[in-house]
């Protein structure tokens, strides 16, 4: 399984020279099975624009939304490969109240935006998703609800060809308890999603010393992500959803401080590609 990071920021894009190395686009991760094109996207932030160069022609696949905040949805109208002739874009999102399409339309519609979701193209479809396991585009997927502020949020476990990853892009473990170190509970859903995966992509928007002042924002710390990875026995922890004000040099310092002898730790950057192959260590390269 090939994992390509197309957008790694949280909350809002971060343009400018201090953010060039790690990138300024918001959350989007592209997945491809061995020898296959990209057919599954995790979230649809502005990083979705960087998916189109990875696709030969029209996009033919699905998108799993963890939740419906702007930094995970606002790439959809600008997804060039999702508008090319022959496109098929199946968007799945946590079930909550009104239909997902209706909820998306609250922000993607006039006067806030020129079009509504149904006008993105004839090949676009929108579906509500319940918790549980299912197959999608040849991937095995497990969806579990995880705590995050402002609407129902899912974390995902995705497996294919012997490789596996867990994706908890926005996660507020302190909202269910302080845990053993004050940084949040290692609660059952997080542990189930992360157990033994090759790659754990996890919310790392804050530093330990910023808590409790930032707890109300609904995100996790670098230290929690690493601790969860160690407890769950993962291969590599990827620090993700960088704060929009966190400069490249500050991410470097965060990564250095997160070094751990019990688990490999890397910081997500646009263009980073991870290869997850059964029985082999995760390998990293640039796109």
Give the tens place of pLDDT for each residue, 183-198: 999 999 999 999 999 9
Give the integer Cα–Cα distance in Å for 258 and 192.
Answer: 23
Strand order in the sheet with 88-94: 124-129, 88-94, 60-64, 38-42, 28-32, 2-7, 272-275, 283-286
Q: How many CB atoms lie within 10 A of CB 268?
A: 25
SS (H, E, C) 143-165: EEECCCCCCCCEEEEEEECCEEE
pTM score, two decimals? 0.95
* Class of residue 163 by CB neighbours under 10 A (exposed 0-12, middle 13-18, buried 19+): buried
Q: Rounded to the nearest 5 degrees, what angle is found at the Cα of 223, between the Cα atoms of 280 and 198?
A: 15
Instruction: Please give the Cα distance from 286 to 21 (Å, whole number).
Output: 12
pLDDT of 211: 73
Which domains, ranges and CATH numbers included, belong to the chain?
A: 2-286 (3.60.15.10)
Contact 145, 153 (CB under 8 A): yes
Work out whether strand 28-32 and strand 2-7 pair parallel, antiparallel, or are unpaired. antiparallel
Report, as ranges of residue numbers, the positions in the chain whose pLDDT lies below 70: 216, 279-281, 287
Distance CA(238)–CA(154), nearest Å, equals: 18
Answer for the pair 96, 70: CB distance below 8 angstroms, yes or no.
Answer: no
Scored b (16 or more CB within 10 A) or e, 101-137 reads bebbbeebeeeeeeeebeebbebbebeebeeeeeebb
- pLDDT score of 284: 78
Q: What is the pLDDT of residue 257?
A: 96
């Amino acid at each position: 399984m090939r994992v390509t990071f197309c957008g790694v920021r949280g909350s809002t894009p971060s343009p400018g020279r201090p953010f060039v190395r790690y990138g300024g686009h918001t959350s989007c991760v592209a997945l491809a099975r061995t020898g296959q094109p990209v057919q599954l996207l995790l979230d649809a932030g502005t990083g979705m624009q960087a998916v189109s160069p990875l696709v030969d022609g029209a996009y033919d696949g699905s998108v799993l939304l963890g939740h419906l905040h702007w930094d995970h949805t606002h790439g959809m109208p600008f997804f060039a490969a999702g508008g090319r002739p022959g496109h098929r874009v199946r968007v799945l999102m946590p079930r909550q109240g009104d239909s997902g399409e209706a909820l998306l339309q609250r922000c993607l519609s006039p006067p806030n935006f020129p079009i509504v979701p149904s006008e993105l193209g004839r090949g676009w479809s929108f579906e509500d998703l319940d918790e549980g396991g299912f197959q999608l585009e040849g991937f095995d997927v497990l969806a579990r609800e995880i705590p995050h502020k402002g609407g129902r949020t899912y974390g995902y476990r995705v497996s294919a060809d012997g490789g596996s990853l867990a994706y908890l892009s926005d996660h507020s473990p302190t909202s269910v308890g302080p845990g053993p170190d004050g940084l949040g509970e290692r609660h059952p859903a997080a542990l189930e999603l992360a157990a033994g995966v090759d790659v754990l992509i996890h919310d790392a928007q804050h530093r330990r010393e910023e808590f409790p002042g930032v707890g109300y924002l609904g995100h996790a710390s670098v230290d929690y992500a690493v601790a969860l990875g160690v407890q769950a026995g993962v291969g590599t922890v990827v620090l993700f959803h960088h704060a929009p004000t966190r400069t490249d040099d500050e991410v470097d310092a965060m990564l250095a401080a997160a070094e751990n002898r019990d688990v490999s730790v890397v910081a997500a950057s646009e263009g980073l590609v991870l290869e997850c192959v059964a029985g082999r260590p995760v390998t990293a390269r640039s796109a």
